Structure 1
């Protein structure tokens, strides 16, 4: 379906963004039809851009995402804890990722999993940054908290953040399962041998990268929960990368 055809569908862009539709008489935006049309086109183009990006990722990475989910399920079943980290916007994604695993999916408390974001403690983050150096801010926490069999998940849009690179090396050396979610071409993260699973969102847009990265870790979470709920390997579940595991 084309973007133009989608716009004509009931409940399409008009339903999501009614202010982009043709303004009514007296509307203060009535004299800006050309601007509104451009914003409308831009909104639709961005929606189709992220849909296509997700489609490319599922075609390339579905099997590895399922395999990674199987590893996550096995690790959690053995008592693992998940440590998530990232910088800037990726730090909030790391916090979201940790909160997903900590939540009791569908109200089932037995599915609440131990997961922590390494940027939550501002006193600790600033102390390590000031006293040791920002490059060590995650590696030091992993050295103190990480146990063999635990899980380390790092997110970056560039893949080049030195503190993530040090964190992955330290986590791998301590026997943690390491998972990276990067953007562009994977950056320096793609060259590390210390990352067990690396998922790269190949887009030049930071906005689309973060949208697709969010989808990846939501699917990892859903597949992991599904595997733990049925007591079987996560690899037998399927997903469309739109966030639906079945």
Structure 2
């Protein structure tokens, strides 16, 4: 292994460096980095209150009305956003014991279907085709994309809008193409250039949306 490669590895992973390492300095740097990242995500999450608070409340009330009318929630995203989409569906469908379970389906869990559509048609339609088959007027969709520019997510929003479904986008950075799309009814942007901070804060957005939806349903009884 060249000295240049060894130096690069040592810079990224001090514990793998072949040269003598100042362990106390490494631990201090790790502690400092952890504290900075924690402060960053706390500040980012707090900023979302002013940015999205009232809009989340309005969106939750519309979600509650859709569920009361018999609507179903569909969620989707790619990569880490796929995991978040499944988390949202699980949260609505199987909430804590004292909350009301609501019909929710993640469009990312059927590997056979997704690979079939990707192979036979194209990856850009893997969510839109499912909404075309399952979606009905009055249903709700939540699409996640850290960049706001995922083609298959945007195609799904367009399909949902054509079918009269309520569309909710959760994005990062400046919202990307989601911010330009007329097919997105409610857009919640996490304004950060760090994909890690974006995804951490997006979990706050959809958990608050779920909680406010539950509250709106309880208030309507």
Fold-level similarity (TM above 0.5)? yes
- Whether 2:137 is the aligned partner of 1:148: answer yes
Q: Distance in 2 between matches of 1:207 and 1:91?
A: 15
Correspondence for 1:63 = 54
Correspondence for 2:111 = 122
Q: Distance in 2 between matches of 1:190 and 1:91?
A: 20
Correspondence for 1:134 = 123
Correspondence for 1:49 = 40
For residues 1-246 of structure 1, what are the structure 2 equivalents within 5 Å? 32-108=23-99, 111-231=100-220
Q: Distance in 1 between matches of 2:113 and 2:137?
A: 23
Deviation readout 1:82-137 (Å, 9 max, x if unpaired) = 000000000000000000000143345xx110001001111101111111100011
* 1:56, distance to aligned residue in structure 2 (A): 1.3
Q: Distance in 1 between matches of 2:177 and 2:51?
A: 20
3-state SS, counterpart of residue 43 of structure 2: helix
Q: Distance in 2 between matches of 1:53 and 1:66?
A: 19
TM-score between the two structures when normalised by the length of structure 1: 0.80
Correspondence for 1:8 = none
Q: Distance in 2 between matches of 1:39 and 1:118?
A: 38
Moved over 3 A (4+): none
Please, what is the CA RMSD of the aligned residues? 1.3
Q: Distance in 2 between matches of 1:197 and 1:221?
A: 14
* 1:64, distance to aligned residue in structure 2 (A): 0.2
3-state SS, counterpart of residue 105 of structure 1: coil
Unaligned runs of 5+ in 1: 1-29, 233-246
Matched residues, number: 201
Q: Distance in 1 between matches of 2:79 and 2:43?
A: 26
Correspondence for 2:4 = none
Q: Distance in 2 between matches of 1:206 and 1:163?
A: 19
Correspondence for 1:243 = none
3-state SS, counterpart of residue 174 of structure 2: coil
3-state SS, counterpart of residue 149 of structure 2: coil
